[in-house]
Amino acid sequence: MSIKDNILYFDEQLRDTSCRLVAVTKTHPVEKIKEAYDAGHRLFGENRVQELVEKYALLPHDIAWHLIGHLQTNKVKYIAEFIDTIQSVDSLKLLVEINRRAEMYGRTLPINCMLQIAIADEETKYGMSCEEAEALLQSEEYRQMNYIRITGVMGIATNTDNEQQLREEFRQLRGCFDYLKAKFFRANDDFKEISMGMTSDWQLALEEGSTIIRVGSGIFGQRDYSNTSR
């Protein structure tokens, strides 16, 4: 299937749901991204700052870009002017810097931020526990921020075919969302997103309440890392 066909397939699959597709473009050239754009897609995700900045410059500016990979504090400045959503916020320190840079650029719209929650069984490097997310939202520093808004939670499940395990991890993320929603965002409609599910498990994630699936290889084909440092 062509990239266009894949986009139309996901449009169809998500039509009667409240779930959206972030098309994950990492390692893929702008010509391929343009095919998805020409099929009408406007929501894209990258996991590395440098690659994101390069592609942002080469592609139409009505694309909403989501950063989905770990963000170092000293790189926030490169994306703060144009980024739509940072899905991978994993510390208060990072959020402070995002807010500071958004203010410096005088953005008219706040930067949407999602709290990355560790749900996989591996000892993963990134992501907070739900308790840490709670502490962040309780902090005085967070309450003073005017240039970001928290739109939900994001999680990366274990790389496994074990359906039961995947469901449990997705339920854990949804449970965390429900808890934070009830405690901090009861009257705030901005907090509504649960980003979970990738090429191999998006259907399960959708059944478990995902509102954003992040699909890369299922749209653009296998990634070729041979000419990168990864």
**Residues pairing with 215 in the sheet:** 23
For residue 201, give both structure tokens.
């498990």
The CB-of-205 to ligand PLP minimum distance in angstroms stands at 11
Cβ-based nearer residue to ligand PLP, 96 or 198: 198
Q: Give least dist CB 200 to ligand PLP, A.
A: 6
Residue 193: count of CB within 10 angstroms of its CB: 22
Binding positions for ligand PLP, 162-221, rule CB under 6 A:
198-200, 214-218
State the first-to-last Cα distance of the chain, in angstroms, to the nearest integer: 27
**x/- string (CB under 6 A) for ligand PLP, residues 49-88?**
-------------------xx-------------------
Strand partners, 213: 21
Q: How far is the CB of 2 from ligand PLP (least distance, A)?
A: 17
Interacting positions 87-146 with ligand PLP (CB under 6 A): none
> Which residue do the tokens 């339920």 mark?
171
- Taking CB under 6 A as the criterion, the residue among 24, 111, 166, 176 binding ligand PLP is 24
> How far lies 107's CA from each of 1, 98, 99, 148, in Å?
39, 12, 10, 10
- Let me know if 165 is exposed, middle or buried by CB neighbors in 10 A (0-12, 13-18, 19+): middle
Would you tell me which residues interact with ligand PLP (CB under 6 A)?
24, 26, 47, 68-69, 156, 198-200, 214-218
